[in-house]
Every structure is written in structure tokens, then in C-alpha cells.
Chains A and B, each alone.
Chain A
Amino acid sequence: MKKRYLILALVIFSIASVFIGVSNISPLDLFSLTEEELQVLFVSRVPRLVSIVIAGMSMSIIGLIMQQLTRNKFVSPTTAGTMDSARFGILIALMVFSNATPIQKMLVAFIFALLGTFIFMKILDRIKFKDVIFIPLVGLMFGNIVSSITTFFAYKNDMIQNMASWLHGDFSLIIKGQYEMIYISIPLLIIAYLFANKFTLAGMGEEFAINLGLNYKRVVNIGLVIVAMVSSVVILTVGTIPFLGLIIPNIVTIYHGDNLKKNLPHTALLGAVFVLACDIFGRVIIYPYEISIGLTVGVIGSAIFIYLLLRGKAHGL
């Protein structure tokens, strides 16, 4: 899995992504586009591509960071309650401020996602039985508890339908003017890259990190803030893309090890390529209709997840 092949795949899929859709635009028309075709391109196709690439990269990277910080290969925003807590936050934002702006929603979602992830980390500290598979199961249970509370309040307030849009990742609704918040992820990912060495070190355990003079608690907290922030941004713009933060980092670390400085670029690229491929697949398979990304990644992702679990058991990961 060389970096240049991933870049090549990313370019090819990106081009394909821009030219696939109901209104037919051919790459050959690129220099003689009509007004309408230009509109389609810049209002819908390009924003869609940008959000796919950024969401794919960000979710994979925060998954990797979470796995490193918890020292468990099966922890990710989907399996640690982060996503469920963010959704709870959005609901609260909608209930408290009747006309919540996207930024308000994002901030409240962020606070909840952060709190939820902290609670999960606290539970993790207290678990004596550190089985690799037991921990994500605890996370899933915790997430489900949060999510049932969300459903309860949503039901009481007639907002169940509203909720569905953050439950399922969907790129088809992304148009210019509604997705720009996802750009907030980019500076966060850059910070993550700058902290890569520190995250790797933190992943070797608290005592190991302290021996080398690392401020362990601060680094873990910075990591969790990045995770919570990116999760909230992605969930509000795209929705939930399940398992992405789990399968991509796992595949990359099998080949490139756990040194974040080395495997972050691969993780970002593979994440983007994977989501792009899934999105194109979902758009083509029942053309001219499409399947949402949450479903495609969910189906393919959960199959890979089960495979990784079984493989992990065999390899004692």
C-alpha cells in the first residue's frame, strides 16, 4: 500500500465522483460548460467531493488517535459513545435554542461529545478486566444508553425525524452553503499531525510516557478534544459514517505499524479513497437513485470489522 498508489486512486476517484450523477456532465465538456452545468458542478458536485474527502480523512484520523490513546484497536468514535454523545448534544441544542445556528449546534455537540468520551475514558480506567473485545463492547453499550436517552427526548419533543439526518451519513444533501463547517476539521487535523509523536508516546502507557518527560494527561486531553471536535463537525455536516474510524486505522497499522508520524498520511489517504469508492458505488448501483453513505460504509465496514475482530482474536491483538 504505497502512498503514491493511494494518491493516484484518490485523484481517479475524485474525477469520477465529479462526473457521476443524474445530470450528465462529461469530462469532455469541461471547457464548454453551460451555465446550468457550471451550477451543478459548483453547487453540488464539488462540495460533495470536498466533504467526502475531508470527512473520510478526519474520521479515519480521529479513529487512529483514539485507538492509540486507549491502547485498544477496537475503540473509535462509533464504539466509544463519542458519536452518540454528539447527537445527544445536537438534540439538546435544538431543544434549548429554538433556532439554533450551525455553530451553536456544533459547540453544544462538541461539549457533549467531549463529556461522553471522558466518561468512557473514566470507565476504561476502572475496568480491571482489560480484554480487547470487552472494552469496545462497553463503549457500544455506553453509546446505546446515551442514544436511548436521546431518542426518549426526541420522541417527547417530536424530533425523531430530525434526528434521522444525523444518524445516517448522507452526501446527497450536501450543497454549497451548507457544508462549509467541515473545513473546521482541517486545522484540527494539522494539529493532530503536529502532535503525532506525542500521541504515539502516550500510546505506550502513562509510566512509559512520564519516563520520557511527556505531560501525559495534557496530551491525552488534547487528543480527546480533537476527537470530539472533529466528530461533532462531521456529524453535523455529513452525519454518522459508522466504523470508518475503526477499519481504516486497523488496516493501515497492520502494514505500517503504530508510529503515528508515519501512518497518519496513509490513514488520511486510505480513509478518503475508501469513502469516495463507497460513495461512487452507492450512486451507481441503483442509478439514477442512490444509497446513502451511512448504509454502504455500514454494510461494508461492519463486515470488515467482524473480520478484524476474528483476526484480532487469532493474533491476540
Chain B
Amino acid sequence: MIEVKQLSKKYGSKYVVDDVSLTIEKGTITSFIGPNGAGKSTLLSMISRLLSKDAGEIYIDNQIVGQVKSNELAKKISILKQANHIDIRLTVRDLVSFGRFPYSQGKLTKEDWIYVDEAIEYMELEDLQDRYLDQLSGGQKQRAFIAMVLAQNTEYILLDEPLNNLDMKHSVQIMKVLRKLVDEKGKTIVIVIHDINFASFYSDHIVALKDGKIVKKGPTAEIIDSCVLKCVYDMDICIQDINENKMCVYFS
């Protein structure tokens, strides 16, 4: 369980995350939604220790982030920021093997390679494993980075806009994988996502943020509500029920 208590971050005198408290349950997908500049990514970065906080505390399984050794934390929680900007010429297999770094410090044992192979298989990258990252399409690249995170084998996986630059087919593919990871492997996933329909279809909980504050948090059905969304996005959003899911129509 991740607990965030009265967390704040300011740049200059402006609070980008302002007194945010929330709890993330194990074995769920939680989506952070909100307009640009709401502080979603900043919040995610602070939870994963990439960014320092100005006030508040973060607990992961009752341990305070910041007091745990960075290398130990790397076995518990992983974060993937918008990975499309990393332009290093590594093969997919090499990249995935770096996911084992917290355990092996670069000297991979047989057991480490088993995790690497499993991750590659899980993300269906067997045919691409010897290709260089710069030879892959956006969707394949994203899958390779997620495979690396899988090899890292952390209980908590944080993803910052994992669907960025992906087309519909690949977006659905990635979201299905994330759902599968939660349902089959019991992972806990937190994503920052812009497309509220993906959030609505795939997440268990949603945290809606605006101007660094939480507008509302709760089970998906409670947040995908025209009143709440009006408050978050300042837009009139019509909500339709499709099968058992709620679909937001906001194009007009």
C-alpha cells in the first residue's frame, strides 16, 4: 500500500502539488487524471523519489520513502517516465536485462536471466529482442520499456503517460497488458493518463487533480460523472453507458 500524506511541492511561490493525501490499494490500477499543469506527473515523480518533496510524507508498505536505500526501493517500486525520449542504442534484450540491475548490479545470474526471458515473453518481444531500440516503432519501444520494468519485478509500477504517441491499437494493447499484470500477477499500477476513456475502461480507482489539489478520488464509477468532470476539466462532458463501462463524449 502506498500512502501519501499532506504532500506539497512548490516552484518559486507556486504550489504545483498542494497538500495532497491519498492511499493506493494493492492489486489495483489507479489513474491520475486532470488538465495540463494539474501536478499529476510531479506527484508521480515524488512518490517514486525522482523528485524531492517540500512537505508531507510518502509511505510505501509503511516505510518512509527517503529513509529506505535507493537500491532497496528499486526492488519495490519502478517508474517509467515518457520513455520515447531515450535514444540510446541498446538491444531490447540488453535494455530488459538492465531491469535486473537492482538485484545484480550488472552481473546477471542465471536466475536474473530467467526473469529477463519471462519479461520478454510476456511482452511478446521474442522476435524483436536482438533489435536496437532505435529500430523499433513507438508501440514496440514502449513494450520494450515495460518489459524492462517487468524484469525489475517490483510490486508497484508507476507509469507517466504510457500511451503518449501511441496509436489506438497500441494504446489498447498496452492497457490490456497493464490490466493483465494486475489481474494475473497482482501488481499495483499507477498511471498518469490524459485519455479519460482509457482511465474509465481500465482503472479501478481514479484520482482527479486540478491546480495541484485533489478534486475528487474514488472508484472509477464515482469519478466518471459529468459533475465531477465538469469541475476538473471545465468542460461539459456527456457520459454514456456502453456495456458495463462509462464512456465520455467531449468532442462538442
Q: Tell me the A residues contacting B by CB distance below 8 Å.
A: 71, 196-198, 200-201, 203-205, 207-208, 210-215, 253, 257-259, 261-262, 317
> In the complex, what's the smallest C-beta–C-beta distance from B63 to chain A, in angstroms?
15
Q: Is the CB of A201 within 8 A of B101?
A: yes
Task: Give chain A residues whose Cβ lies under 8 Å from the Cβ of B48.
Answer: 211
- CA A87 to CA B106, docked complex, whole Å: 36
A-B contact pairs, 15 of them (CB 8 A): A71-B88, A196-B106, A197-B105, A198-B106, A203-B88, A207-B81, A208-B86, A210-B49, A212-B101, A213-B73, A214-B70, A257-B90, A258-B89, A259-B91, A262-B94
Q: Is B33 an interface residue (CB 8 A)?
A: no
Q: Which residues of B contact A196 (CB under 8 A)?
A: 106
Excluding A210-B50, A213-B73, 6 further A-B contacts by CB distance (< 8 Å) are A200-B90, A204-B86, A213-B72, A214-B70, A259-B90, A262-B94
Contact-size category for B = 20 to 34
Contact A211 B78 (CB under 8 A): yes
- B152 contacts A212, C-beta separation under 8 Å: yes
Residue B115, interface by CB 8 Å: no
* Contact status A258-B90, CB under 8 Å: yes
A196 to B81, CA, bound (A): 24
For residue A201, which residues in chain B have a CB less than 8 angstroms away from its CB?
Answer: 98, 101, 106
Contact assessment for B88 and A214 in the assembled complex, using a CB-CB cutoff below 8 Å: no
Contact B89 A257 (CB under 8 A): yes
Is the Cβ of B101 less than 8 Å from the Cβ of A210? Answer: no
Task: Decide: A210 near B70, CB < 8 A? Known: A197-B101, A201-B101.
Answer: yes
Taken together as a complex, chains A and B put the C-alpha atoms of A296 and B25 apart, in Å, by: 65
Residues of A within 8 A of B29 (CB): none
Residues of chain B contacted by A203 (CB below 8 angstroms): 88
Smallest Cβ-Cβ distance to A71: which chain B residue: B88
Determine the chain A residues whose CB is within 8 A of the CB of B78 once the complex forms.
Answer: 211
B residues lining the A interface (CB < 8 Å): 45, 48-50, 69-75, 78-81, 86-91, 94, 98-99, 101-102, 105-106, 132, 152
A212 near B86: Cβ-Cβ < 8 Å: no
A213 touches B132 (CB 8 A): no
Most buried by B among A71, A259, A261: A259
Cα distance A53–B152 when bound, in Å?
40
Chain B residues whose CB sits within 8 angstroms of the CB of A208 once the complex forms: 81, 86
Q: What's the Cα separation between A196 and B89 when bound, in Å?
A: 15
Provided the pairs A198-B106, A257-B94, A257-B132 are in contact, do residues A214 and B89 lie with their beta carbons within 8 angstroms? no
Q: Which residues of B contact A197 (CB under 8 A)?
A: 98, 101, 105-106
Closest to B88 in A: A258
User: Which B residues are CB-close (under 8 A) to A262?
Assistant: 94
Residues of A within 8 A of B89 (CB): 253, 257-258
Return chain B residues, CB-CB under 8 Å to A257: 89-91, 94, 132
Give the distance in Å from the alpha carbon of A317 to the alpha carbon of B70 in the complex.
Answer: 32
